[in-house]
Amino acid sequence: MPLINVKNITVTYGKHKVIDNLSFSLEEGDFLCIVGPNGSGKSTLLKAILGEAKIHSGNIILDKELKRNFIGYLPQHNNIPEDFPATVNEIVYTGLLNQTHFVSSKYKKRADDALKTLGISSLKNDSYSNLSGGQRQKVLLARALCATSKLLILDEASNNLDYNSKSSFYALLKKINKTENLTIIMVTHDLDHKNLLGNKILSLDHDSPFFGSTDEYVRRIHAH
């Protein structure tokens, strides 16, 4: 049984059909990258999977082991106030609270690893409100990484990251995907980091819709 089975879903806002009869499924351990131009419905699809967007027809079936509040989610636009009074560590650890009220050593290690890989360990005790835009994004990524052992959903996670930070973040995702069999769904415009993409691609581009393996997708692009 697939971890996520999206069956013929249509999502509309008023008269506007944003997602039109889309179907695909993911197995545990898949790493899906969603691509497509602005406004093609990428964020809307993530919200539909999370149960935050109303589906007009069709349905999305999640494996019964996958509870919606055990999904790590980094939205494209967050609602954390600029002057939120918390340290980096405090923000990161809120990602852990949906699964445990104690910060167990396993998840603490994951938080520490994420901060280290993203190069912000030294900021642990700094105030979130004093960080730069890219540094804040890294803190939120570390938080999403800690929030789940099942499914991680990232919407344009590399916003604000410089080139090296992007590469090391993608490499970290790939490593966690392999070693922990964590399923990942990521919206991205960074197709130039091909070796760091996941195993599957979904394109919501109306002119070139696609769902399948990344290898196949890359072959098609080169064939054009």
Q: What is the DSSP string of 3-68?
A: SEEEEEEEEEETTEEEEEEEEEEE-TT-EEEEE--TTSSHHHHHHHHHT-S--SEEEEEE-TT--G
Radius of gyration of the chain (CA): 17
Instruction: Let me know the angle formed at the C-alpha of 163 by 172 and 109, rounded to the nearest 5 degrees.
Output: 25
Contact partner, 212, from Mg ion, ligand ATP, none, Cβ < 5-8 Å per class: none
Contact partner, 39, from Mg ion, ligand ATP, none, Cβ < 5-8 Å per class: ligand ATP
Backbone phi and psi for residue 62, each to the nearest 5 degrees, phi listed first: -100, 145
Q: Does position 78 bind Mg ion by CB under 5 A?
A: no
With beta carbons less than 8 A apart as the criterion, state whether 155 and 42 touch. Answer: yes
Residues 48-87 interacting with ligand ATP (rule: CB under 6 A): 76
Region binding ligand ATP by CB under 6 A among candidate stretches 22-30, 42-50, 80-88, 213-221 = 42-50
* Residue 51, both tokens: 């149960």
Residue with tokens 């650890």: 93
Region binding Mg ion by CB under 5 A among candidate stretches 4-12, 58-66, 68-76, 192-200 = 68-76
Among 6, 40, 117, 154, binds ligand ATP (CB under 6 A): 40
Instruction: Supply the DSSP symbol for 145.
Output: H
Q: Does position 38 bind ligand ATP by CB under 6 A?
A: yes
Q: Does position 44 bind ligand ATP by CB under 6 A?
A: yes
Q: Does position 201 bind ligand ATP by CB under 6 A?
A: no
Which residue, 58 or 119, is less far from ligand ATP as judged by CB? Answer: 58
Region binding ligand ATP by CB under 6 A among candidate stretches 22-30, 37-45, 107-115, 134-142 = 37-45
- Chain residues binding ligand ATP by CB under 6 A are 13, 18, 36, 38-44, 76
